[in-house]
Amino acid sequence: MSFLDGKNILITGGTGSFGKKMTKRILEYSRPERLIIFSRDELKQYEMAQEFPDSQYDCIRYFIGDVRDKERLYRAFRDVDYVIHAAALKQIPATEYNPFEAIKTNVIGSQNVINAAIDQRVHRVIALSTDKAANPINLYGASKLCADKLFIAANVYAGRNDTNFSVVRYGNVVGSRGSVIPFFLKMRKTGVLPITDPRMTRFWITLEEGVDFVLQCLERMVGGELFVPKIPSAGIMDLAKAITPDAKIEVIGIRAGEKLHEVMIPRDDARNTVELSDRYVIKPQFRYFDRRFANNDGKPVPEDFEYNSGTNPWRLTVEEMRELIKNLEQGQGSNE
């Protein structure tokens, strides 16, 4: 990651699980001039500062701020080379009940990030998306789809300014806050696991894999791409067996805003998608962007292609899921 050496990097939502792992990765493998942690929670910043003390990491700066606050972003983005935009409201039930707040952060906040980055001449901005943004059926997914569109179109707004924007979209992160794995680990003590639907499948990626993929895309991006990694799927019943094979299964039904299978590339985007060895790239539909991709490798996917967790040929076995969960538990124990 030598491309980050001597650069000024800013992570929005930097005190979250992704931001902390990204910070650790950057500090392990590069020597940035400044690494700015931008978030709105001073307690989390204080706790993160204990994990990354000034005496050892003198390049870190902590900025209290909210992506809703455009003026604060303008101040924070001054002389910044790269922005990794991870700030978002993500909990589906909370965003369904508080939709105005989700729009303020996920949509208006993204617009603020874009305007500040262009005007402060940030070189590259990469934004985190979600599988919920493809064919969305809940407000969180809809707000993230809107944000994706904003970041892709931002390359047009930048004009002749040397600011490029791209998006990374991936699936469920193993062990992330609010995900099913920590919930199942908690419930296994009771001997009963509530399952929404036995047919349900999801894409899975570890936090480390997600961070590494974002950094690879940040280095390779030309602006306007939506990157999707090739990752495995797993069925909910296999996950339940991996956690506690003897548990009683209680089927409770799909919750509001939930899908049976997740999609990361809808069929309607196939015409703009190319496949590489480890990822897919959805190219922008602006025809005057074609020259940006003239030297890019990749082959077009079939016209009826859809990247769906239910039809994904790469499926995790029960044993592979068990190994992932074991590594997760060991990692959590080492952080306590």
- Summarize the confidence of residues 112-122 as an average pLDDT: 98
pLDDT in tens, 32-56: 999 999 999 999 999 999 999 989 9
Q: Which two tokens stand for residue 145?
A: 């789809």
Of 202 and 176, more confident: 202
Contact 146, 107 (CB under 8 A): yes
Of 169 and 177, more confident: 169
Nearest CA to 309 among 255, 239, 211?
Answer: 239
Nearest CA to 265 among 278, 281, 287?
Answer: 281
User: Is residue 58 over pLDDT 80?
Assistant: yes
User: Is residue 334 over pLDDT 50?
Assistant: no
Domains assigned to the chain: 2-171+205-230+263-308 (3.40.50.720)
Residues marked active site are found at 132
Looking at residue 41, its pLDDT comes to: 95
User: Is residue 335 over pLDDT 50?
Assistant: no
For residue 322, the tally of other CB atoms under 10 A from its CB is 17
The rounded distance, in Å, linking the Cα atoms of 97 and 102 is 10
pLDDT in tens, 258-302: 899 999 999 999 999 999 999 999 999 877 677 777 666 789 999
* Mean pLDDT estimate for the chain: 92
Of 103 and 291, more confident: 103
pLDDT in tens, 299-315: 999 999 999 999 999 99
What phi, psi does 4 have (nearest 5°)?
-90, -10
User: Is residue 8 over pLDDT 60?
Assistant: yes
pLDDT in tens, 214-248: 999 999 999 999 999 999 999 999 999 999 888 89
Burial 229-240 (b: 16+ CB within 10 A, else e): bbbbbbbbbbbb
Looking at residue 332, its pLDDT comes to: 62
User: Is residue 184 over pLDDT 70?
Assistant: yes
Burial 276-290 (b: 16+ CB within 10 A, else e): eeebbbbbbeeeebe
First to last CA, the chain: 29
Of 176 and 156, more confident: 156
Strands 226-229, 164-168: pairing is parallel
State the residue for tokens 């490798």: 297
- Summarize the confidence of residues 89-100 as an average pLDDT: 93
The band of 329, judged by pLDDT with boundaries at 50, 70 and 90, is: confident
Confidence (pTM): 0.94
The band of 159, judged by pLDDT with boundaries at 50, 70 and 90, is: confident
- Summarize the confidence of residues 100-117 as an average pLDDT: 98
